[in-house]
Chains A and B, each alone.
Chain A
Amino acid sequence: MPKQFERSNEEQVPDGPMISLRDLRVSYDGREILHGINFDVQRGETLVILGGSGSGKSTLLRTLVGLEIPSSGEVWIRGKNFVAISDAERDEIRKKLGMSFQGGALFGSMTVGENVALPLREHTKLEEPTVEIMVRLKLDQVGLSGFEDFLPSQLSGGMKKRAAVARALAMDPEILFFDEPSAGLDPIIAAGIDQLILELKKAFHMTIIVVTHELASAFLIADRMVLINKGDLVASGTVAEMQNSKHPRVRQFLDRVPEPAVAQELDYLQMLTEPSSKAGEGRQGKSR
């Protein structure tokens, strides 16, 4: 069976792409969120998945790490179809993945050190002193040395994110996923997180997938970008290709043009500030 897969998907040999999506569809309660997504991510590449709120980009990321089960299609990770393998095999692949969640998702009842040590204690037979050294090393990598004994609730938003990255790095993953790394952070802290991603990429040649809608951050860290809109992949390309793209959706997203419906709302707001406008009365009623 695996041989068959290899033949029909030649790119799946180990030096092929790290991640390959084939006509991926995901549905919630009968409503399709992703309508047939295809793309590849090469080894060592940083891919940024762009998209507005509700575009399905977070669902896409969750599907990539196996938290959502696709209704159809294939998710190839490290040469294995993530959808069609056994739970045990999926867990084996997951040990090679690291995920940094939007809110950090650190375990509140454990210290930062215990959080980082958890995957090591669960999946390796390392001696306790070694685990402690590893934890210190990982925290050092993200600039949090000395915070082992802090509880997540004692950390600031940016520090929580960093601690979450340290935990994601604990098992020396080959692929690192970030869900909205700079969401809810001030620009300086967000820039620090971007810097951290760049450093990880440079130092470990990791494959990195970042979901974001922060354009500045996306342009800084991406090798390649894909834009998801209403569950469809509308464009993909290098940073330069995206910047020069003529695709209306890409232009709208990159140039930050509001949706027509939203534009009308803005008109309405303008009308409120100019009460003499005649058209305003009709719209006012409608809006309510």
Chain B
Amino acid sequence: MDFLQATGSAFTDGLAYLGSLATLAGRAAYFTFIGPFQGKPLRLRRAIGQAMETGVRALPILSLITFFIGLILALQAAYELRRFGAMSYVASAVALSMTRELGPLITAVIVIGRSGSAFAAELGTMKVTEEIDALETMAINPVSFLVAPKFMAMVLMLPCLTIWANFMGILGGSLFGVLQADFTFQRYITASLDALFLRDVVTGLIKSFMFGITITAVGCHEGLATGGGAEQVGRSTTRAVVMSIFLVILVDLVFTMLFYFLGEH
């Protein structure tokens, strides 16, 4: 009985959490897409600043990591493929797994580490130092002022970063292809592009768009839910990272299943 009760309340807590994330994301989306048409300010300058921070400044580390991931994928694929003398399939294996799955996912994980945590820490600190309260007393909506620009930056930058990550992954794979699998660079790239359908790229980008919403909602929600004290900011940040990774994987699963069943027909 206790077990059932515990399971039940954990389930309802989980649903309530998802509900509050959806509410926050919805309000941020309102201030991004609808608010500007109702005379509410579109905070483009703040959004551009956020896009620089979450997008452009993530490029070096993202490039390096996804290049390595591409190389690792090529090595792992070749490990099996070489037994069948099918080394020429390395390019397509890398291209497909990068664009469909690892590109969006690795990008999301890096962005969670860099920006999701930063959102939670920033908003958490602002909560603790009463800056959020100050915004409210000045009749400035904290979601419009703080969350919406982050939301805008994320849903724009995460797909862009994902495209870049896909490209760098393929580049990483090509290093192996050229050195070990008798490809020329041009042939490797051509083989990669031939293996890809537009659908592969687009499903990856749709996922990354959803990841962007998830990461912003979790990071900002955790930040805004911070209690008093510096210690709480640390806990919010940790929770933001753990919950974001979990939810990104969950969203990934849901969408991958969706695309799988849609693709059947």
Contact = CB atoms under 8 A, between A and B. Distances in A.
Contact of A99 (B125, B134, B140): B134
Interface of B: 41, 125-126, 129-131, 133-134, 136-140
A102 B130 contact: yes
A77 B131 CA distance: 23
Interface in A73-107: 90-92, 94-95, 97, 99, 101-103, 105-107
A119 B130 contact: no
A107 B41 CA distance: 19
B136 A122 contact: no
A45 to B, nearest CB: 20
B41 A122 contact: yes
Size band of the interface chain A makes with B = 20 to 34
Nearest to A99: B137
Interface of A: 62, 65-67, 90-92, 94-95, 97, 99, 101-103, 105-108, 118-119, 122-123, 167, 171, 177
A67 to B, nearest CB: 5
A158 B7 CA distance: 52
Contact of B133 (A90, A101, A108, A119): A101
B52 to A, nearest CB: 14
Contact of A94 (B130, B131, B138): B138
A67 B133 contact: yes
A119 B131 contact: no
Given A101-B130, A103-B130, A105-B131, A66 B41 contact: no
B53 to A, nearest CB: 11
A88 to B, nearest CB: 10
Given A102-B130, A122-B41, A95 B136 contact: no
Contacts of B126: 107
A101 B130 CA distance: 7
A66 B137 contact: yes
Contacts of B130: 101-103, 105
